Chain A
Amino acid sequence: QKEVEQDPGPLSVPEGAIVSLNCTYSNSAFQYFMWYRQYSRKGPELLMYTYSSGNKEDGRFTAQVDKSSKYISLFIRDSQPSDSATYLCKSGYNKLIFGAGTRLAVHP
C-alpha cells in the first residue's frame, strides 16, 4: 500500500462547479498535509497546508483533514478554467511523500 494515495483522474467539470479532490494516507503519525497545484510544464506551487484534523479556508479553496479516517480533501468552489492543473497532495514534511496527482480540467 502506498503511503499517500490519490486518484489520478482526469477529472473534468464545467465552470462554476464545486470540485472535490481527495487523498488517503496510511501513516497515522503524519501531522502536516499539503496541497500543491502544478500547471503543465511548471514546478508545483504550494496552495495550502494544514495540520491535524479540521478545515482551512483560503478564498475559493478549502482544505480538510480527517485524521480518524486518514482522509484529506481539497475543495474548490466556483471553479474556473484557470484552475485546470494537476493537484498533488503531500503528507509530512520530513520524508516527502506525494500523491500521484489528480488532473483537473475545468471547461467553460
Chain B
Amino acid sequence: GAVVSQHPSRVICKSGTSVKIECRSLDFQATTMFWYRQFPKQSLMLMATSNEGSKATYEQGVEKDKFLINHASLTLSTLTVTSAHPEDSSFYICSAPTAQGNEQFFGPGTRLTVL
C-alpha cells in the first residue's frame, strides 16, 4: 500500500519554541493531507485539512495562527506548532487519501512533548 512518512517521530522542546512536523507521501501524490491530534487513550481529532497550493481548512476550535500548515508540494505538508506550550503535548498524525479518495494512509505519528 501507499506510504506516508512523518518527521520527526519524537520531539521534546521548551515552552515558547516552535516545532515543525513534516508529512510526506512517498509513492503517490497527495493534493490533500489531513492533520490529526491524539491525546492519550483518546480518538483521533481532525485539526485541519491541508490543500496543495491553497490555504488549509481548519476545524472548529483549532487556532490557525498557532498551528501553521503549509502544503508546499504534492508530496509534502508541514505543520508548525508555534509558541508551543505544555498543553500542546500530544501525538500528531498526518494522513493522505489516495487519488480515488476512498482509502486513507496514515503517517507513523510525531510525539510532541513540551516542557
Q: Which residues of A contact B (CB under 8 A)?
A: 32, 34, 36, 41-46, 49, 51, 88, 90, 93-94, 96, 98-101, 103
Contact = CB atoms under 8 A, between A and B. Distances in A.
A46 B109 contact: no
Contacts of B4: 43
B31 to A, nearest CB: 13
Contact of A45 (B43, B106, B111): B106
Interface in B12-47: 34, 41-44, 46
A58 B96 CA distance: 23
B101 A88 contact: no
Nearest to A34: B104
Contacts of A88: 43-44
Nearest to A4: B43
A75 B111 CA distance: 31
A101 B101 contact: no
B90 to A, nearest CB: 12
Given A49-B102, A90-B104, A93-B101, A41 B111 contact: yes
Given A41-B111, A96-B34, A100-B43, A49 B103 contact: yes
Interface in B43-71: 43-44, 46
Nearest to A36: B106
Contact of B1 (A34, A46, A96, A98): A46
26 contacts: A34-B104, A36-B106, A41-B91, A41-B109, A41-B111, A42-B109, A43-B4, A43-B6, A43-B93, A43-B108, A46-B103, A46-B104, A46-B106, A49-B102, A90-B104, A93-B97, A93-B101, A93-B102, A94-B101, A96-B104, A98-B43, A99-B43, A100-B42, A100-B43, A101-B43, A103-B41
